[in-house]
């Protein structure tokens, strides 16, 4: 692990170790003293900045009596390196991985581009259900996954900023039939007037544009570098290197240049709704 620069992997590792420490009831200072460490060394590790070796990590987790499964997960995270992290979740549901949920909760700004579907954070439960049922997911797992995805929308609050870029074709996809389709569009209108949410439509008339390479989101944090998140059917990727982040920031800038403004975007949604009456 890098010694002084925090990364997605490093922060998730640090969060896991922090939880292990909290389970002991000890303060960080008390634990550092018990291990014969400087408190700064422990603080760096918890911030995802490294500064320890694998044997020291094993020693700490053993002292905390961390369960074996969690211990192995944390050691796997510790061994990761670099600025690209591929995850292939066991349940085959990329957008429910622990890393993404933690990054979303820690972000103070999320910029999202969605080309085919309404962005996940703006989907109503009925829409989410239809999308989840169409995915390669076992039927018995659909209800808990829908509940988890609905819960993720709780991060939509005034303490953060959200910029959603959505292609017009996503609005025309009748997910779940006309009733669900109509309610989903109405929900977009309700959300779009919130001051901390910007919803801008890329019109079909824009033709070829910078976002045709696929959906993504850029998450920004008060203290850490931005993170780019991309997912496919059974895996997801996290990037936090400057070159990749800059590339996707450029795409967002290009999308903003061809997107309708917020008022025009609401007008497009309204026109589709009126056609469904």
Q: Is 2 domain-assigned?
A: no
Please give the residue that has the higher pLDDT: either 226 or 135: 226
Residues 28 and 136 in one domain: no
Residues 128 and 144 in one domain: yes
Taking only the tens place, the pLDDT of each residue in 146-192 is 998 899 999 999 999 999 999 999 999 999 999 999 999 999 999 99
Residues 96 and 30 in one domain: no
Q: Is 3 domain-assigned?
A: no
Domain that holds residue 39: 8-82
Residues 56 and 152 in one domain: no
Residues 52 and 141 in one domain: no
Count of residues making up the chain: 277
Residues 175 and 192 in one domain: yes
What are residue 110's phi and psi, to 5 degrees? -130, 125
DSSP letter at 2? -
Domain boundary among 23, 49, 82: 82
Domain boundary among 34, 53, 82: 82
Please give the residue that has the higher pLDDT: either 84 or 60: 60
Q: Is 1 domain-assigned?
A: no
Residues 78 and 89 in one domain: no
Average pLDDT, the chain: 88
* Stretch 251-270: mean pLDDT: 97
Taking only the tens place, the pLDDT of each residue in 223-232 is 888 999 998 7
* Stretch 207-223: mean pLDDT: 92
Residue 199's pLDDT band (cuts 50, 70, 90): very high
Residues 93 and 78 in one domain: no
Residues 123 and 161 in one domain: yes
**DSSP-derived secondary structure for the chain:** --SS---HHHHHHHHHHHHHHHTTT--HHHHHHHHT--HHHHHHHHTT-----HHHHHHHHHHTT--HHHHHHHHHHHH--SSEEEE--TTS-GGG-HHHHHHHHH-SEEEEEESSS--GGG--HHHHHHHHHHSS--GGGHHHHHHHHHHHGGG-STTSEEEEEEEHHHHH--TTHHHHHHHHHHHHHHHHTSTTEEEEEE-GGG-S-GGGG--EEEEE-SSS--EEEEE-SS-EEEE--HHHHHHHHHHHHHHHHHS--HHHHHHHHHHHHHHT-
Taking only the tens place, the pLDDT of each residue in 73-110 is 888 888 775 566 666 666 556 566 678 888 899 999 99
Residues 78 and 193 in one domain: no
Residue 1's pLDDT band (cuts 50, 70, 90): very low
* Stretch 220-248: mean pLDDT: 89
Domain boundary among 82, 99, 124: 82
* Residue 179's CATH number: 3.30.870
Tell me, what's the pLDDT at 73? 82
Q: Is the pLDDT at 25 greater than 70, yes or no?
A: yes
> What is the tally of structural domains in the chain?
2
Q: In terms of Cα–Cα distance, which of 196, 194, 171, 210 is closest to 110?
A: 196
What are residue 112's phi and psi, to 5 degrees? -125, 135
Residues 152 and 241 in one domain: yes
Q: Is 177 domain-assigned?
A: yes
Residues 34 and 106 in one domain: no
């Amino acid at each position: 692990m890098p010694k002084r620069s925090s990364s997605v992997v490093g922060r998730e590792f640090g969060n896991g170790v922090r939880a292990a420490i909290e389970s002991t009831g000890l303060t960080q200072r008390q634990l550092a003293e018990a291990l014969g460490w400087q408190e700064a060394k422990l603080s760096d590790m918890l911030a995802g900045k490294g500064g320890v070796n694998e044997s020291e990590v094993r020693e700490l987790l053993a002292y905390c009596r961390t369960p074996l499964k969690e211990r192995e997960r944390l050691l796997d995270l510790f061994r990761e390196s670099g600025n690209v992290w591929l995850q292939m979740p066991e349940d085959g549901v990329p957008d429910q991985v622990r890393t993404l949920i933690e990054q979303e909760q820690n972000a103070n700004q999320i910029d999202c581009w969605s080309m085919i579907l309404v962005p996940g954070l703006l989907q109503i439960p009925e829409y989410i259900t239809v999308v989840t049922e169409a995915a390669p997911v076992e039927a018995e797992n659909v209800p808990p996954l829908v509940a988890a995805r609905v819960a993720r929308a709780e991060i939509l609050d005034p303490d953060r900023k959200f910029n959603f870029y959505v292609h017009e074709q996503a609005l025309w996809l009748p997910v779940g039939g006309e009733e669900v389709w109509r309610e989903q569009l109405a929900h977009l209108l309700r959300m779009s007037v919130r001051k901390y949410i910007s919803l801008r439509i890329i019109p079909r008339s824009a033709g070829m544009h910078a976002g045709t390479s696929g959906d993504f989101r850029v998450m920004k944090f008060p203290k850490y570098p931005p993170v780019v998140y991309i997912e496919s059917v059974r895996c997801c990727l996290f990037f936090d290197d400057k070159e990749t982040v800059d590339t996707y920031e450029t795409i967002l800038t290009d999308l903003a240049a061809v997107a309708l403004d917020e008022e025009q975007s609401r007008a497009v949604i309204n026109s589709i709704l009126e056609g469904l009456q």
